[in-house]
Structure 1
Amino acid sequence: MRQFWVFLLLWGVGCTPSTPIPGVVRPGPGEPFLQSLPGPMPGFGPFESYTQALMAACPLILSKPNATAGRVGSQNFQIRWRVSSEYCAWLYYTPDHKYEMTLLTDQSKPNLEDRKTCDLPPFVNDPRYPPTSLKYIFALHNHPFEDILSNKDIGYITDMGLTHGFEINTRDGNVRLAVIAFFSTSNDFESPTCDGFFEYIPATTEMVKWHHSQDDWRMEHVGLVKRLANGRYILEKN
């Protein structure tokens, strides 16, 4: 009987790879992974500041199917984690001095670490502007639960810094390139709350965690990231 209920839960929360999701793009069957994401996201922005854009991106990404598994240790967490997905997108700065977000993707490759991943394409395709005029600000994605940024996340944004620059000049000053992972601790899977995000800034090697409580945001310094001789990264916590 228990196996029957587990099957129903998996069927209820699962999402087949071919199911279209509004605002999400994927390579077609047999096609290679996307190398660029189209922008801008319909109905999103444009925003005057990256802070406004982040606050809008968090609930949007977490609202996608199976974007959150809830709190670790909560009922059915392991089942929900197995069927969960990561979605990723670029937040970018346009020649009009606005912050926009691309469409999302959930394309991913199998990995040996048994982690959920999203392979973010390295480029943005916004047909309104020349490609070289766009400035890359944040690599956005969700984590299905409250978990720090992975070696893959850190290595990716470091590579993107070499491609796009580690510091971006905007009308309001310089902004440092970063990778961000939103999370929710809510067990309301229909309307999960945006409870915070982890951020890694390769220019400073700093990892921070932002907590959201009511209308207040609080930053916690997690530690500094160090690159090892074998190419992997370790977090030296406070």
Structure 2
Amino acid sequence: MSELSGGDLPKGPERILGENAKLPEMERFFGDLYGRRDSIYLPDREIRAQLLYRGIDDLQSAVRQKAWLPIYEVMCARIVSRIFSIARGVDNVSLTEGLAKKYPLEGCAYCGQMPCVCQENRDPYQLSTPTTEQEQWSLRDWQEHLTKMYGEKNQQRGINYILLRLGSEYGELISLERVIPRYSIDEVKDKYSLELADTMAWTIAAASMLRVDLQKAVEKRYGNGCRACNQIPCVCPPHSFDQISKDDYGHILEASFHS
């Protein structure tokens, strides 16, 4: 068993997220952990997107407040959890597949280079066929890959630009929801897969700028199951949509805090 914070689970099945879990395994784990709770309290994708935006806003606030690393870790991990929640609401669309199509091994989907050399007026992106290698990547593998691809450009742009782009992904998700009736089921899944991949990529970019090891942060926050109810699946009450203030920072590190 990994030495992750949160303690052993006194109740529920023996299902612990292993250290260095691959992204598909992590997606399944979060389905086991929060799928039931989300289906009851977050019954549609728009509500889940609103909760994602609250998490993004909380991270932006933490950066403005110049919070410390453990707070950034929690904030980034919460965003990952909420991205998974939206994916489950689209017939369990695969984040791994979307990332592999949009951010392939060979380089940037726009310029085809590694690292990216895109200019302001860039060509349309070209999707790639997912490779067996990328299908088995962990979140840490994706963070390393995207840092190689875009890290230098992101350093030049700065954390505020990264957070602005991350926040804009909420608007794109809501816009997509408005036009869903135009598309077939498979087309909807494809579009959500790519949109959520972009959201995850900007989350990874923010984490890298804040020196957060995102794999470690997610495992630390959720790897031993729900920190509040100590059960899998989680049986906690609904998520809070209240904004987290600086005064709450000590509390969110406690095991009883509902993520």
Q: Which TM-score applies when normalising by structure 2?
A: 0.27
Work out which structure has the larger RCO, using CA pairs closer than 8 Å and 6 or more positions apart in sequence: 2
Decide which structure has greater strand share: 1
**Could you state the TM-score of these two structures normalised by the residue count of structure 1?**
0.29
Structure with more helix by fraction: 2
